[in-house]
């Protein structure tokens, strides 16, 4: 690789791939589109992003002199900084262009980098106050206090529902619709019917076996597992939060804050097990019922993406 600064290396890779007039749609079918730049506007966009990355690297990681030495964490740090001033849509465009720049550099310099597999679009911080409050994650210590209070002083079925919401990251509607027949003891799975009728199977953890069995006791296959309306779950949660003076801390959020807690725990576990950021995000997304690739949604659930 040429011994020039990062900006020059990026520019060289972009120039080498520039094919003005190349049919972009036709190139997609032949697989050429990812390592070719087909228009002046695309070239300009890639140049702007590469210039910003080069400057960011010079300011924050001055010892990195070659593109091959840029790590995913460097790129993620750059994106995280941009999240304070850019919208979610703009951040998505940045990620797409960075992925393209990586392909061009790999082709030009015959290097092996792994940015694309390990960077995620961060959540935009350009939100109004209530939007920020809605993406709050409940702290585990607070949830423990809520459940402890509920089991001690309330006879409402909502307490068990809140507990189940945390154990399996369920929505209030999913909990309300669960039936005994959704529990498969042969496979040790819980079938959850989510938004749009999408079904997913979650493994019943060994430590939850007695908890789930208690919910099934003396009930028929078509009976509701808990037998509670979804709005009743959040209402009881709010009552307990008010008793514990948590409403100031979590003013406009409910079960979703608990789902976000579970999402963060699942993310942390998968990352500790050695999975890449995208692999961990796909797992969490599927677990919560969003499907693969919904990083735009999952960025509001997983706040700490280490």
Burial of 16 (0-12, 13-18, 19+ CB in 10 A): middle
Per-residue burial over 38-58, b if 16 or more Cβ lie within 10 Å, else e, is beeebbebbbebbeebbebbe
Q: What's residue 130's pLDDT?
A: 47
pLDDT mean over 176-203: 94
Share of the chain above pLDDT 90, in %: 67
Phi, psi (deg, nearest 5) at residue 191: -85, 125
- Map residue 67 onto helix, strand or coil: helix
Q: pTM for this structure?
A: 0.66
Task: Locate 85 and state its tokens.
Answer: 């001033």
Q: How confident is the model at residue 120 (pLDDT cuts 50, 70, 90)?
A: confident
- Map residue 126 onto helix, strand or coil: coil
Instruction: List, in sequence order, the alpha helices (H) in the chain.
Output: 6-17, 24-30, 40-60, 72-82, 88-109, 129-134, 140-153, 158-168, 172-177, 209-216, 230-243, 255-272, 277-288, 295-298
Residue whose pair of structure tokens reads 């990812």 in the numeric block: 34
Q: What's residue 290's pLDDT?
A: 86
Q: How confident is the model at residue 131 (pLDDT cuts 50, 70, 90)?
A: very low
Q: What's residue 247's pLDDT?
A: 83
**Most confident segment among 26-30, 42-46, 134-138:** 42-46
> Is pLDDT above 90 for 301?
no
148-170 pLDDT per residue, tens: 999 999 999 999 999 999 999 99
């Amino acid at each position: 690789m040429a011994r020039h600064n990062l900006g020059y290396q990026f520019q060289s890779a972009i120039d080498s791939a520039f094919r003005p007039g190349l049919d972009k749609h036709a190139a997609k079918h032949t697989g050429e589109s990812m390592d070719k730049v087909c228009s002046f506007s695309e070239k300009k966009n890639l140049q702007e992003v590469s210039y910003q990355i080069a400057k960011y690297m010079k300011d924050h990681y001055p010892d990195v002199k070659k593109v091959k030495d840029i790590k995913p964490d460097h790129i993620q740090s750059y994106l995280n900084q941009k999240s304070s001033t850019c919208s979610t849509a703009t951040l998505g465009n940045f990620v797409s262009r960075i992925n393209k720049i990586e392909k061009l550099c790999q082709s030009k310099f015959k290097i092996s980098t792994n940015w694309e597999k390990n960077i995620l679009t961060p959540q935009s911080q350009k939100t109004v106050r209530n939007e920020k409050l809605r993406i709050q994650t409940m702290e585990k210590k607070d949830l423990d206090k809520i459940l402890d209070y509920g089991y001690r002083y309330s006879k409402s079925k909502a307490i068990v529902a809140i507990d189940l919401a945390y154990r399996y990251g369920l929505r209030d509607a999913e909990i309300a619709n669960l039936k005994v027949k959704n529990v498969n003891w042969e496979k040790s799975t819980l079938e959850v019917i989510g938004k749009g009728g999408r079904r997913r199977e979650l493994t019943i953890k060994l430590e939850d076996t007695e908890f789930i069995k208690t919910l099934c006791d003396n009930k028929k296959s078509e009976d509701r597992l808990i037998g509670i309306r979804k709005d009743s779950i959040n209402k009881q949660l709010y009552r307990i939060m008010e008793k514990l003076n948590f409403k100031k801390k979590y003013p406009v959020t409910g079960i979703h804050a608990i789902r976000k807690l579970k999402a963060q725990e699942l993310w942390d576990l998968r990352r500790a097990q050695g999975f890449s950021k995208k692999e961990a995000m796909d797992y969490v997304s599927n677990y919560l019922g969003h499907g693969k690739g919904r990083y735009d949604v999952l960025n509001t659930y997983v706040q700490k993406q280490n």
